[in-house]
Structure 1
């Protein structure tokens, strides 16, 4: 069987902005173990970004630091397919050269000299001009560079070094701070008179005189004043390593280092993403989201291309308590013909789930099991209540929509009979349509009948276009979909603002979104993989909502939805367990036992309900039954301290002290740090 690993770099349109991460207590660089201190303070001191440095100092132990260093180099590797990391090899080659040649004749190590720093950051120059052993000019060296515009540097520029007053290390020369007068041995004029110094140097070394005022070949220097562009160049040189890497991976590694497996830790990739909260006709809110990883790596086995993606989602309240979480494994498989059609397109994974009202943090982690890469995003979510006042959702911008028939399942970004295909980067071509969708679920009848919408497009800070619509012209209450042609929008950056006017002609709601029109006539749109979700009336939706209320301690609503789920599908063990838990919580033990007992009659894949039956029987003082259920539970799942202790309580309550001691002592063997159980054991032994 032939197996081949293939990595497709996908088309990118925008970079998602990640929220700031909370800093842990940092280790001082001087307190690091010697090899990590050397790595941070010497080997990568000129190329590590401030964010990377901050994260590295928050890591603990050899494992975490080694994983970070691996990720550091991996995110600078220009060709991940090859075994070699060309960037890393070149970097250490530059350090070696600097130490061997650029510190000679001085007590300073080569990497610490100004020449060493520039060589490590920029590499070897195209050519070098030397002015050494001169009688009129202090030792001066000019390095010429070319072809670095992709790093935000000029296409051609010089870097000048000189020995101030003819001794010491070569220092970096600044046309503004030093000027040609600092290069001349016999200049006795005004230190601020650049013109006199320039003319004197011009008579000695004309080419060097020009370079002394501007580091940019071809820049006008006839004003005889130092070039400000040269000063900007010098500051940008230090920024070059930061522009060459996206360092978001560092904070992701810090955030997920205790969650993801070791083999994933160094392999963070960026993504585009979009999250929208939309209500369906029943008033239930669904979270629609998409994530587009910057690359999708797949395996080739014989004639099939495949990978498996794993999604882990977590919804937490503002105190960090988990309200809902989900895990999915998604196999992706392509034939060669299908792969050839999509390999130049982004890959968009889209999903949807219901969520009850509240303020939350949404964390999503996506792992590729083939390449051991991961990506993630975090978002704040606000879910309005069913009866909330009029609120406007965020604008969804899309280049394409499609009218589809309604189904019993929910599909991401499908609203009613319209499937929306949003662009997370909000990039459009002049040939695209611009569709704008939003909801106002609680809109009043007065506003619906007499209100209006105003769409204002801004190009930069200037208003570019304005259109208005009557709200009553939209057929579905609270849902708004508008289409605009972009034919007359020149390529640029835009902002669209949607104002909602009341029947009294006052603005009551405002939302805005940014988008861009590309120079490209066609923008590749993604290959979409969608996960379906049950509709609002489905028993699974009721179960999910009930569980979310239960986890927040809102037991009345939890019971309402969990009872609905069980009633719609009474043969579902999962739904019976959910309903049973809320009944036990509300001390309705007889009801809980009644709905769980039927599942004893048939073999099950899940025997968690035995624990629930044990708890209900214990609360009903049916101790023998409770012990029987608890022991059967242990037979399926092995040792469980909570269940062992419950068995002890049941024996003690039924007067069997020896069996109670046996259960509790076994529990203490597993975990001796149970003070309450220790006291119970001591009490029973004292009674003997």
Structure 2
């Protein structure tokens, strides 16, 4: 999770105080990334751990593969669309944007992604192994792979060969590179600010299009800050069916109100899901709960409460109940989970 957890989720996790809360957080972390939440399999989670295994198999170099730069990028963004690999380094003809000319390089790889959400299009990431140990690191300087960079008169660029620039000028650049392009303007993709912005964006967690209540959490909302009481009662109908009466209660004093035209209004969106213990969907419900009161009577109304009730027929057994409530005005929410033990009644009960 270390590479894919967002900053907001980290802050929410740090505020949790019990192991039960942390366990619920981890479950919800994977659930909101599940592309098919109505099935038992979580393809996102399975793919994440597959990538970790692949990184450990292919990118280890004295440290586990998942800790290397290549492993981190692979885990976060998957396999690149193209790889230009030079595992032994050696002779290299520079492209014109790097100055042209022939040199010798350390081992390096260029990974190209056609598109990375939150980063951009045509993203090229260069990894260089300057220690010849198999540990490739992300490089922001296209000349870092040049094994002859510090050898006078060797590995000259076209500009240097024609006497239009001197190799020593490479070490006078202020853009963070050692390119030997002389006064030749750099393409936008090699602009120092573009490179730094791309590098910074690559360090962030991958963009996840959070579903709102259906995903059970929205990471920019404070965690469990909307007090809520939930109760379940059961009524036997037949040997195979039990009416399960779910009651959700909010105290008016815990809700936030917006006043418009002398009317104070609180709004809570409610989403509930009942699943089997293996997460197979059984039933779901959603409702918008509103409380309206004349603004001058708000203080008197604070002592009251809002109640939502839902009756669902279920076979006897053990289920998992998840309820998410979001206060629209206060931007607070509650993630609630409990075991739902639907009893089996004997004929004489």
TM tier relative to shorter chain: 0.5 to 0.7
The structure with the largest helix share of the pair is: 1
Whole-Å separation in 1 of the counterparts to 2:9 and 2:273: 25
Question: 2:67 aligned with 1:112, yes or no?
Answer: yes
- CA–CA distance in structure 1, aligned partners of residues 225 and 149 of structure 2: 59
**Equivalent residue pairs, number:** 244
Counterpart selection for 1:377 from 327, 334, 339: 327
Structure 2 residue corresponding to 1:326, chosen from 305, 309, 315:
305
Q: TM-score, normalised by structure 1?
A: 0.31
Which residue number in structure 2 is paired with residue 341 of structure 1?
A: none
The answer to whether the Cα contact below 8 Å between 1:68 and 1:253 also exists between their aligned partners in 2 is: no
Per-residue Cα deviation, 1:203-248 (whole angstroms, up to 9, x for no partner): xxxxxxxxxx9xxxxxxx9614732323222211222525544763
- Rate the CA distance shift 1:260–1:89 in 2: closer, same or farther, 3 A: farther
Preserved contact between residue 269 and residue 327 of structure 2 (Cα < 8 Å): no
Q: TM-score, normalised by structure 2?
A: 0.57
For 1:255, the equivalent position in structure 2 comes to 225
| Equivalent residue, structure 2, for 1:66 | 23
Q: What pairs up with 1:561-600 in 2 under 5 angstroms? A: none
In the TM superposition, what whole-angstrom CA distance separates every residue of 1:326-368 from its partner, at most 9, and x where no partner exists? 12226699xxxxxxxxxxxxxxxxxxxxxxxxxxxxxxxxxxx
Match for residue 236 of structure 1 among 201, 206, 211? 201
Output the CA distance in 1 between the equivalents of 2:321 and 2:159. 63
Q: Report the CA distance shift for 1:325/1:71 in structure 2 as closer, same or farther (over 3 A).
A: farther
Cα distance, 1:310 vs structure 2: 7.9
Distance 2:129 2:230 in 1: 53
SS of 2:4 mapped into structure 1: coil
Q: CA-atom RMSD, angstroms?
A: 4.4
Whether the 8 Å CA contact 1:308–1:330 is kept in 2: the answer is: no
Is 2:111–2:124's contact at 8 Å kept on the other side of the alignment? yes
Alignment CA distance shift 1:86-1:260 (3 Å) = farther
For residues 292 and 307 of structure 1, do their structure 2 counterparts lie closer, same or farther at Cα, with a shift above 3 Å needed? Answer: closer
In 2: Cα distance, 1:306 partner to 1:132 partner: 54
Q: Within 5 Å, give how 1:269-284 maps onto structure 2.
A: 276-278=258-260
Higher relative contact order (Cα pairs below 8 Å, separated by 6+ residues) = 2
Q: Is the 8 A contact 1:313 1:325 kept in 2?
A: no
Distance 2:53 2:184 in 1: 41
Distance of aligned partners of 1:99 and 1:53 in 2 relative to their CA distance in 1, 3 Å threshold = same
Q: How far is the alpha carbon of 1:306 from its aligned partner? A: 8.7
The one of 156, 162, 169 equivalent to 2:135 is: 169
- Greater C-alpha radius of gyration: 1
Measure, in 2, the Cα distance between the counterparts of 1:199 and 1:167: 32
Which whole-Å CA distance do the structure 2 matches of 1:169 and 1:61 have between them? 39
Q: Which residue of 1 aligns with 2:146?
A: 184
Contact 1:145/1:158 (CA < 8 Å) preserved in 2?
yes
Displacement, 1:377? 1.8
Is 1:140 the equivalent of 2:115? no
Mapped partners of 1:72, 1:198: distance in 2: 53
Residue 165 and residue 121 in structure 1: after superposition, are their counterparts in 2 closer, same or farther (change >3 A)? same
Question: What SS does the corresponding residue of 2:124 show, helix, strand or coil?
Answer: strand
For 1:46, the equivalent position in structure 2 comes to: 3
Match of 1:155?
A: 121
- Structure 2 residue 55 is matched with structure 1 residue 98: yes
Alignment CA distance shift 1:308-1:139 (3 Å): closer
Unaligned runs of 5+ in 2: 91-103, 162-174, 176-182, 212-216, 233-245, 247-255, 276-282, 294-300, 313-319, 331-349
Contact 1:121–1:238 under 8 Å retained in 2: no
Residue aligning to 2:14? 57
